[in-house]
Amino acid sequence: MTAEAETTTGSGTTTTSGRRPGTGGVTARRWAPGTQVLWRYRDNAGGRVHICRPVTVVQDTDELLAVWMAPGTECVKPVLLDGSPVHAEPLATRYTAPRTTARARWTGAGVLKLARPGEPWSVWLFWEPGWLFRSWYVNLEEPRTRWAHGVDSEDHFLDISVYPDRSWLWRDEDEFEQAQRSGLMGPAQARRVREAGRAAAEVIRSWGSPFADGWEHWRPDPGWAVPALPADWDRAPARTAP
């Protein structure tokens, strides 16, 4: 860091006394490793939070936010009104059928999420049982907005799977097209998302960060507790620096 004093609050928040360029003079706040925060997504129609995942901070710097979602974490996810999964709805009406939210435990292995400030995607790492690394997943999304207890974003439907042999493929192109037909994404935004996807693909082709950084060998601190889902998981946040 550049001549900035750091102090860690009782909640695990590291506050830098300097001001980061481009934040409008807002004091940047960084979370200490082990801090529990919320990773949330707004819905694409009304802007209300419909996905919430409690996570534990692994690393939080000006260059990277890394968080761990542990197996068994209670999360919030969108479901159809009868409680069935969204993907049970035919594609043509998947984004127009009425929805609600439900609480559910994350099953299987945990997920490590990596995000760089201002970048329109995050990269998730998946393992099979026994820590057999499976793949990276590039989730195209709105650059995350930080608030006191987490980060918020909006999913952009289109994704990329990346494998240990460096092969990769697009995911959910059908949903990306249907979201446009359903009016959830206009032509200008769709072009920006495609451009972001192409930029992410260039990072993959050049094997840049985070793919070359060895995160597949990372392991969580065994002393970390599984974060609890708060009752006010959908609270309106007070905005802070990115």
Tell me the per-residue pLDDT of 156-190, one tens digit each, with 9 for 90 and over.
999 999 999 999 999 999 999 999 999 999 999 99
Per-residue model confidence (pLDDT) at position 29 = 85
Among the listed ranges 3-12, 57-66, 103-112, 157-166, which one has the minimum average pLDDT value? 3-12
**200, 160 Cβ separation under 8 angstroms:** yes
Across residues 144-156, what is the average pLDDT?
Answer: 97
Rounded distance between C-alpha atoms, residue 112 and residue 59, angstroms? 11
Whether pTM > 0.95 for this model: the answer is no
pLDDT of residue 24: 40
Q: Assess whether pLDDT exceeds 80 at residue 22.
A: no
**Residue for token pair 């995000």:** 115
User: Which CA distances in Å does 95 have to 44, 86, 176, 177?
Assistant: 9, 9, 11, 11
Distance in angstroms (rounded) separating the CA atoms of residues 158 and 175 = 7
What pLDDT is stored for residue 237 in this prediction? 79
Any idea how long the chain is? 242
